[in-house]
Amino acid sequence: MGFLDSAQEMLDKGVSAAKGAVSGLAVEQQAFMKGFARLCNDGWNQGWHERNGGNASYRMTTEEVSSCRTFFYDNPSSWVPLGVRAEELRGEFFAVTASGSHLRNVALDPNRNAGIVEIGASGDAWRIVWGFKGEGVPTSEFPSHFLCHAVRKRVTQGRDRVVYHAHPSATVACSLVLPADARTVTRALWKCMTEGVIAFPGGVGVLPWMAPGGLELARATSAQMEAYDAVLWPQHGLMCAAPDFDAAFGLVQAVEKAADVYVRARCMMGGQEPAHVIPDEGIRAIAAAYRLPVNEAFLG
Ligand code: 2HA
Ligand code: ZN
């Protein structure tokens, strides 16, 4: 059979055959997994992921799940209870970093340092369908990621797909100096850098210090995610939600940049509040110029 005959036969089989050809792309080569690995690598390059610090998860689209299915394990792991339930996430699939994995290694070997889990029909358990080579499991913060995904899926009508946790230094430093209060922290960050309110117009949520990896932290963080796409875990790091990998990276970077400016200015002031900051009218003017959904409750 010549090339044209094969091409005709392909056409005859229609779109499903063409889709079948696309599904031959290995999971690591697919755009979502490349974006996932790049996020981890970019965060590592920023110094946000010492050792095995930080983690990431991505809620896959139906199309991405279909194009990965041929690579899923013939025998998935058994179901593992999450300890929490989210109706919104029944039957979803997540790419997620592996517990203990160093984020600098995700891009080198996604199959080992990350994997894909399927959420059960009751929305309260996961099983491994791809990756996590070498007895790996999802990150210890997966309950937090899971509940944040549930809330963000609902409040953004399905737009948010990425949840990203990082340990950026200046942001953590701010939490050692500022009270654990969303209004105070957000105002400090908005007022020291014009880009602040543009990047996080809703403000930054703040929790009291809590032990990592637990259900208490997961529940408290997801409650904050009803209102905020960025939540500060004092003396620990940031938890962010966003529609895509660029937005997730950009959000953490913008919070960290504002925190860095704030910390430097405060140091130069001998520890006092910076002397010259953007006034509340200025924040309102930026919000008006860019038509931002600014959190009015945080303005004077
Ligand atoms: O993965 O960052 O919060 C290690 C952590 C826990
Ligand atoms: Zn952490």
Could you tell me if residue 3 is left (phi over 0), alpha (psi between -120 and 50 degrees) or otherwise beta? Answer: alpha
Q: What is the pLDDT of residue 143?
A: 97
Question: Ligand 1, from 137, 140, 217: best to mutate by most atoms within 8 Å of Cβ?
Answer: 140
Q: Which residues surround ligand 2, an ion (CB under 5 A)?
A: 237
Ligand 1 mutation target, pool 101, 113, 139, 171, most atoms within 8 A of CB: 139
**Distance separating alpha carbons of residues 157 and 209, to the nearest angstrom:** 30
> How far from the centroid of its chain's Cα atoms is residue 264's Cα?
27
Identify the pLDDT of residue 229: 98
pLDDT score at 33: 98
CA of 53 to the centre of ligand 2 (A): 5
CA 93 distance to own-chain centroid: 15
pLDDT recorded at residue 19: 44
Q: Which of 141, 195, 226, 273 is catalytic?
A: 141
d(CA 234, CA 64): 35
Tell me which ligand sits closest to the C-alpha of residue 52: 1
Beta-bridge partner residues of 114: 97
Distance 70 CA to ligand 2 centre (A): 33
Query: To test ligand 1's pocket by mutation, which of 40, 48, 52, 97 has the most ligand atoms within 8 angstroms of CB?
Result: 52
**What's residue 23's pLDDT?**
53
Q: How far is the CA of 211 from the centre of ligand 2 (A)?
A: 10
Q: Whose CA is nearest to atom 3 of ligand 1?
A: 212
Strand-pair category, 80-81 with 114-119: unpaired
Position 288: which residue type? Answer: A
Per residue of the chain (300 residues), what is the pLDDT tens digit? 454 455 445 444 443 344 444 458 999 999 999 999 999 999 999 999 999 999 999 999 999 999 999 999 999 999 999 999 999 999 999 999 999 999 999 999 999 999 999 999 999 999 999 999 999 999 999 999 999 999 999 999 999 999 999 999 999 999 999 999 999 999 999 999 999 999 999 999 999 999 999 999 999 999 999 999 999 999 999 999 999 999 999 999 999 999 999 999 999 999 999 999 999 999 999 999 999 999 999 999
Task: Please state the pTM of the whole predicted model.
Answer: 0.92
Note the ligand closest to the C-alpha atom of 172. 2
> Alpha-carbon torsion 64, 70, 71, 76, what sign?
positive
pLDDT of residue 138: 98
> Among all chains, which residue has been given the structure tokens 């922290």?
185
For ligand 1, residues with CB inside 6 Å are 52-55, 139-141, 165, 212-213
In this prediction, residue 24 carries a pLDDT of 86
Active site residue 88: no
Can you give the pLDDT at residue 6?
Answer: 53
The b-or-e profile of 270-284 (16+ CB within 10 A means b, else e) is eeeebeebbeeeebb
Cα 48 to averaged position of ligand 2 atoms, centre (Å)? 10
pLDDT of 13 = 45
pLDDT recorded at residue 2: 52
Ligand 1 atom nearest to CA at 99 = 1
Q: Please give the pLDDT value at position 12.
A: 45
